[in-house]
Chain A
């Protein structure tokens, strides 16, 4: 096309690029709003008109991590003088950090964050481990009714979470697994396993069979060939699959809402529950959300070349 109408084509190109950049800014503005709110003073967060430029504060993060009480009267000057800098920030907001002895009391957030980590990491390891083995089985051996079996595996992922959650809730209650880490881990393994099999099968299919055949000729057993030849070749695929499973488990809301209440509750049902009653402190909620987004943002960047595969269950390759 460049040959025919060079001038207008170049202009069109420039307009398109400008449009893309503007749209990107628009698309990212909600994310900017979350992050910026997490470093705003409470009065600025809900100001009219909305404030875009302001002096950042760390108060929301201190509030996120600590248990606090609202002060009824003015702060005791002696107490204020003794307080550390981060306590003073909260003092200024009319609140005081709860302490037992010298130790500041933590809010439930660190615990929920930790639950998220434990559950997401454990379920990812299990789902990817099982999925890798199964994918290898499907990729290398003849299996009767392979297509049907793969469809069965995929179909488990297609179910709305609520449909599975009702019977799981009843079963968990019968065996005492409600509100436990193990209960949620099992749920997420079941949910991610199908995805892990489909994605890993794509990666396994791409590793030439000749590699193992050569190893078998050299006297390796199948098992040795799998562990020493195939697994190292599949390591990028395994990493990508693991990150996708992690993000899914990390972000999951419905199962966590229905199968946990306190002990094993993860961050996604916890953060919205903070809005519940009274005056909403959006800055603290934003701080909790921002911290929660950090792993996702890092992983998205690392995964950029695998995104297409990941979001389509590995069925489509770039």
Chain B
């Protein structure tokens, strides 16, 4: 068997599988995005051209969903970057049980968002939740208040994903050559100077990867917010999409919205891959 045949045997099944179950469905839904098709009805559907897109892009509600999503992404990603990097700075030294502590801190991000969301509902409960008790919020319902619900979801997301930023930061910190710190110490450089001139620049490529990665994931968030909160102020774009497709059964329009979201995700992915290649070249 020639190398060429072997290569094809190894690669083609995967490519075919992905085309069949990822690309083909997307093409299929692109078609539906130009129709008024409704999956729960048998009535004939008709071609409506760009009407779905036009209506979606001029719909204030959709823009509200995008604004909620943007707010959520900014708050939760900023929180994760701060907490994650802070934890990594603290962990970046040798001490007993370091391996165990690091592993334990990784647990939240390995858990199912649905279970996490469900459980934080109990933790946030105004009547018997431990969070209100410890923080002293009395019977103020963080999740039932429209103004705070989004932040409550973001806090849970920060809890879940700070370990991710921490992991990447730790990898970056451990790669900083020790002799740079020794040189700085000999020059009697201040801690702040050492941090801003040595630590931060050398860790920043990995921090950027963490930032892009988490931005992309936060933008896609569905499960956590969907399980945790029912407030209209926490209706992220993917939740709106789910409701449009599987509760209102407005299939044609939901396909169009899916395409709008898809284009945004591909744009972010492109940025991600660009930075990834930059880091790899280093």
Residues of A near any B CB (own CB < 8 A): 1, 3-4, 13, 16-17, 19-21, 23-24, 27-31, 33-34, 37, 45-50, 130-131, 133-134, 136-138, 140-141, 143, 149, 151-156, 158-171, 173, 186-187, 189-190, 193-194, 197, 221-223, 247, 250-254, 258, 268-269, 271-272, 275, 282, 285-286, 289, 292-293, 296-297, 299-301, 304, 307-308, 311-312, 315-316, 318
Q: When each residue 177-199 of chain B gets 1 if its CB lies under 8 Å from chain A and 0 otherwise, what string results?
A: 00001100110100000000000
- Contact indicator A27/B105 (Cβ below 8 Å): yes
- Contact indicator A171/B28 (Cβ below 8 Å): yes
Main SS at interface, chain B: helix
Tell me, rounded to whole Å, the shortest Cβ–Cβ distance linking A38 to chain B: 11
Chain-A contact segment, one of B50-58, B71-79, B115-123, B141-149? B115-123
Contacting residue for A316 out of B7, B188, B209, CB 8 A: B209
- Contact indicator A293/B111 (Cβ below 8 Å): yes
Residue of A nearest to B240 (CB): A162
Q: A149-B15, A155-B266 are in contact. List 10 more A-B contacts (CB 8 A).
A: A156-B23, A159-B262, A166-B245, A170-B28, A190-B18, A251-B111, A253-B114, A258-B246, A297-B107, A301-B103
Contacting residue for B101 out of A21, A171, A197, A275, CB 8 A: A21
- Contact indicator B159/A30 (Cβ below 8 Å): yes
Roughly how many angstroms separate A54 CA and B129 CA in the complex, as a whole number? 17
Most buried by B among A20, A47, A190, A251: A20
Using a Cβ–Cβ cut-off of 8 Å, how many residues does chain B contribute to the interface with A? 94
Tell me, rounded to whole Å, the shortest Cβ–Cβ distance linking B239 to chain A: 9
Contacting residue for B129 out of A50, A269, A272, CB 8 A: A50
B273 within 8 A of A: yes
- Contact indicator A48/B128 (Cβ below 8 Å): yes
- Contact indicator A268/B114 (Cβ below 8 Å): yes
Residues of B near any A CB (own CB < 8 A): 1, 3, 6-7, 9-11, 13-15, 17-18, 21-23, 25-26, 28-29, 32, 39, 87, 90-91, 93, 95, 99, 101-123, 127-130, 133, 159, 164, 167-168, 171, 181-182, 185-186, 188, 206, 209, 213, 216, 219-220, 222-223, 227, 238, 241-242, 245-246, 251, 254-255, 258, 261-262, 265-266, 268-269, 272-273, 276, 279-280
Contacting residue for A23 out of B90, B117, B220, CB 8 A: B90
Chain A residues with CB under 8 A of B93: 13, 16-17
Chain B residues with CB under 8 A of A143: 7, 11
Residue of A nearest to B206 (CB): A316
- Contact indicator A162/B280 (Cβ below 8 Å): no
Roughly how many angstroms separate A201 CA and B121 CA in the complex, as a whole number? 40
- Contact indicator B112/A292 (Cβ below 8 Å): yes
- Contact indicator B222/A162 (Cβ below 8 Å): yes
Tell me, rounded to whole Å, the shortest Cβ–Cβ distance linking B227 to chain A: 5
Contacting residue for A130 out of B14, B116, B251, CB 8 A: B14
- Contact indicator A193/B14 (Cβ below 8 Å): yes
Roughly how many angstroms separate A164 CA and B32 CA in the complex, as a whole number? 13
- Contact indicator A162/B99 (Cβ below 8 Å): no
- Contact indicator A167/B17 (Cβ below 8 Å): no
Residue of A nearest to B28 (CB): A167
Contacting residue for B128 out of A21, A47, A136, A155, CB 8 A: A47
What are 21 of the A-B contact pairs (CB < 8 Å)? A3-B185, A17-B93, A30-B108, A33-B123, A33-B130, A47-B128, A130-B13, A133-B10, A133-B14, A156-B23, A158-B265, A160-B261, A166-B251, A222-B3, A250-B112, A251-B112, A292-B112, A296-B110, A296-B112, A315-B280, A316-B171
Tell me, rounded to whole Å, the shortest Cβ–Cβ distance linking A232 to chain B: 18
